[in-house]
Homo-oligomer: A and B are copies of this chain.
């Protein structure tokens, strides 16, 4: 008789995904724990979707204390789990002085949360599809229904300008202090995305899942615009089209999130 006894724990390890004993836990009733869970999931999703590499990061503002936010310690987002999440103040210091080392570029998050009370989540990417726009100064614009959240021209942060008064040996590319973070937040303005020349992008929004959606469709839009510009002059979305379409699609964010979650779980590298 061909049979084997496997405990649920073992089967889960084998199947990763399909085992009934591996059903998702219900989301936490603690609003901050729920946000932390989403930070972890978003880190896995965005790696799996090719938006984050070893170096990008995802954060969410605390629901209980809007002057705090949660982000992973300095590590690849693909591998983040609960123990890696650090609570950070808007002064960019961890609440727990014994917290593990944070990303050098945490100032992106602090200064954006400071400048934008409406922002509940920030994602910093090294998205390869948007970088050519920053390198050439070609404006990234909305070309696709799902990218209707983009402004008529996505702003571009030129770190060289922000670094002009730094000593020569500090004129790097990274956002390693509050001054550069403020300059980035200023360039972002009231919008959803700012490109960073030679570096990537920063994406923000009123919920973490919205920001994940925006990060993915900024990338898809960038790829489409690049391809289309090589074929001929491009028809961009009108402002009416962006507003009306985003109102509709904005209600469907969980639909995409749920698929990306399934895909990320299937190819998970965490654990």
Q: Which residues of A contact B (CB under 8 A)?
A: 1-11, 13-19, 21, 53-55, 74-76, 78-79, 104, 126, 128, 131-133, 135-138, 143-146, 148, 160, 168-174, 176, 197-199, 220, 223-235, 237-238, 240-241, 243-245, 247-249, 252, 255-256, 258-260, 262-263, 266-267, 269, 271
Complex partner residue of A4 from B10, B197, B229, CB under 8 angstroms: B10
Which of A8, A55, A160, A172 is packed against the most chain B CB atoms within 10 Å?
Answer: A172
What are 7 inter-chain pairs, A to B, with CB distance below 8 A? A3-B6, A11-B14, A13-B15, A14-B15, A104-B248, A169-B240, A266-B267
Q: Is the interface of A mostly helix, strand, loop or mixed?
A: helix
Complex partner residue of A13 from B11, B168, B223, B256, CB under 8 angstroms: B11
- 3 cross-chain pairs, A with B, having the tightest CB-CB distances, nearest first: A172-B244, A4-B6, A76-B259
Which of A131, A148, A230 is packed against the most chain B CB atoms within 10 Å?
Answer: A131
Is A13 a contact partner of B8 (Cβ separation < 8 A)? no
Give complex CA distance A249, B198 in Å.
14
Give complex CA distance A240, B3 in Å.
57
Is A262 a contact partner of B258 (Cβ separation < 8 A)? no
Is A271 a contact partner of B18 (Cβ separation < 8 A)? yes
By a CB distance below 8 angstroms, the chain B residues around A244 are 169-173
Q: A226-B227, A227-B132, A269-B259 are in contact. Are A237 and B145 (CB under 8 A)?
A: no
By a CB distance below 8 angstroms, the chain B residues around A248 are 104, 172, 174, 176
By a CB distance below 8 angstroms, the chain B residues around A132 are 224, 227-228, 230-231
Give complex CA distance A168, B131 in Å.
34
Q: A13-B19, A231-B132 are in contact. Are A263 and B256 (CB under 8 A)?
A: no
User: How many copies of this chain does one complex carry?
Assistant: 4
Complex partner residue of A172 from B170, B197, B247, CB under 8 angstroms: B247
Is A223 a contact partner of B4 (Cβ separation < 8 A)? no
Complex partner residue of A237 from B4, B13, B173, B232, CB under 8 angstroms: B173
By a CB distance below 8 angstroms, the chain B residues around A74 are 252, 255
Give complex CA distance A97, B241 in Å.
32
Is A8 a contact partner of B18 (Cβ separation < 8 A)? no
Is A171 a contact partner of B240 (Cβ separation < 8 A)? yes
Is B13 a contact partner of A2 (Cβ separation < 8 A)? no
Complex partner residue of A128 from B5, B6, B128, B223, CB under 8 angstroms: B223
- Which residue of chain B is the closest to A158 with respect to CB atoms? B235
Is A4 a contact partner of B5 (Cβ separation < 8 A)? yes
- Which residue of chain B is the closest to A240 with respect to CB atoms? B171
Q: Return A38 CB to nearest CB of chain B, in Å.
A: 17
